[in-house]
Each structure stands twice: as C-alpha cells, then as structure tokens.
Amino acid sequence: MEIFIKIGVLFLGLLIGYLCGSIPNAVIIGKVFFKKDIREFGSHNAGGTNAGRVLGKKAGVVVMILDVIKTSLPIWGVFALVSFTVLGVYAWSPWTYYLTGIGAMVGHCFPIFAHFRGGKAVSSFGGFVLATNWVLALIGIAIMLIVLKIKKHVSLGSIVSSGLVTALSLVLFLPALAQIGMWTGMESGPIYTAFLIVETFYLYDRHHENIKRLLDHQERRITWMS
C-alpha cells in the first residue's frame, strides 16, 4: 500500500505543476488589456517573446516573469506541502519536486486552460532552474543576455543557455561543490542533471523550427529587448 501512496504523491506533484503551468499568462494579458488573442499574431506562440513583439515590451517582460513564477511557485509549494504535512513520510524527494517542474513545463506548452496551445518551454526551464539552484539560474540569465546582446535571437539564447546550464550541473557531481547554489530540499547529482537533460531536449524539440531557421540564417531578430 505504501508504494502506491508514494506513486500517488509523485503524480500529485505532477498534477499541481501541470495545472499551474497551464495558466496562460500571455493569453490572459493579451485578451484583458489589449483585446487580442496573442496566438493569432506574430509567431502564434503564447510566450513572452511573442507577447513583447505583439503587445509591447512591458507586456512581454511581465509575461516572462509570470511564466517563470508559475513554474517556480508550484515546485516550492510542493516542497512546503511535503515538508510540513504527513505526505513527507511518503514522498520521494527531490523526485517529487523535480517532477512538479516537468508538469509545469508540459502545462506551459500544452495548457488545459487555453486549448493546449501554449509556449515553447523557455520560461518554464528558467523557472525550474530558479526554483532548484540560484547559481545556475544567474549563470543562465547572464548567458541569455549575452547571446541576446550579440545575436538578437531569443531562440538561440534559449538553446545555448539551457544547454550550458545543464552541462554546468555536472560540476555539482563533485562532493565539495554538490550543494553550491542548491535551495533547501533540492539535491544535485545524476537525478537532477537527468531532469535538466529532459527539460533541455524538450525545449530543443519545441524549437526545432527555430533551429532550422537559425541554420538557414532566416530566424527573425528581436528588437524590443534591445
């Protein structure tokens, strides 16, 4: 019976993450404040980049921040739920927290509250890293900003920063560095890196068209972040 409860806790985290990730911030802001369904304009993507392109810089930044929060918050929320309730006896942590982040990423890309038409996982990846390791989060932000400054491609910045952050997590395999930047309750090591790899490849898959355009030198540059 206990094993079923443990599996149930895992799925609870996954469900909480998915439902929070499904909150379509770009769609809500577009419809409420601009009377537009952002998915009908620009790249037809319900993410911060397209929100900035269609709705303006301020709206784009707000969407990005909210999309990061909707991934980080459920991870921390599930951590609190597990830490301060009887569920802690049955939780496989940090698996439960990391699976919550996976759920949020899937919800962001295929939101149940917006007809399964969502974003491309960039903010969700950022939210996952922010909720688990603040040092890697800062490094990822720095890499993203550098690529944006030089190339003006959000897609390229997302691809490069997510890949490098995942690669850098291997440094945490060293015992002396294992907990550098990790928040309380979060653990580095093979499991953590495995989840980062899954999220990175998922992000890459969501950007397969962007990757083709980058290789063909046809990817649109972004100007509203300049």
Q: Has residue 223 been placed in a domain?
A: no
Positive or negative, the CA dihedral 116, 119, 120, 124 is negative
Per the structure, how many domains does the chain have? 1
Report the alpha-carbon distance of residue 116 to residue 109 in Å, rounded. Answer: 7
Reference 165, options 188, 185, 183, 148; nearest CA is: 188
Mean pLDDT to the nearest integer, 28-34? 96
In sequence order, what are the residues at sequence separation of 6 or more whose Cβ sits closer than 8 angstroms to the Cβ of residue 12?
78, 87
Residue scoring higher pLDDT (112 or 44): 112
Quick one: pLDDT band at residue 225, thresholds 50, 70, 90?
Answer: low
Q: Which residues of 14-50 are buried (b: 16+ CB within 10 A; e: fewer)?
A: bebbbbbbbbbbbbbbbeeeeeebbbebebebbbbbb
- Domain of 58? 2-215
Q: Has residue 48 been placed in a domain?
A: yes
3-state SS, residue 50: helix
Q: Has residue 221 been placed in a domain?
A: no
Q: Has residue 18 been placed in a domain?
A: yes
pLDDT tens sequence across 81-137: 999 998 888 899 899 999 999 999 999 999 999 999 999 999 999 999 999 999 999
pLDDT at residue 226 is higher than 80: no
Q: Has residue 46 been placed in a domain?
A: yes
Measured in degrees and rounded to the nearest 5, phi and psi for residue 42 equal 60, -125
3-state SS, residue 88: helix
Q: Has residue 165 been placed in a domain?
A: yes
pLDDT at residue 221 is higher than 90: no
**pLDDT > 90 fraction of the chain, expressed in percent and rounded:** 91
Q: For 202, what's the count of Cα atoms within 13 Å in the CB-facing half-sphere?
A: 23
pLDDT at 220: 86
Residue 124 has which token pair?
Answer: 């969700």
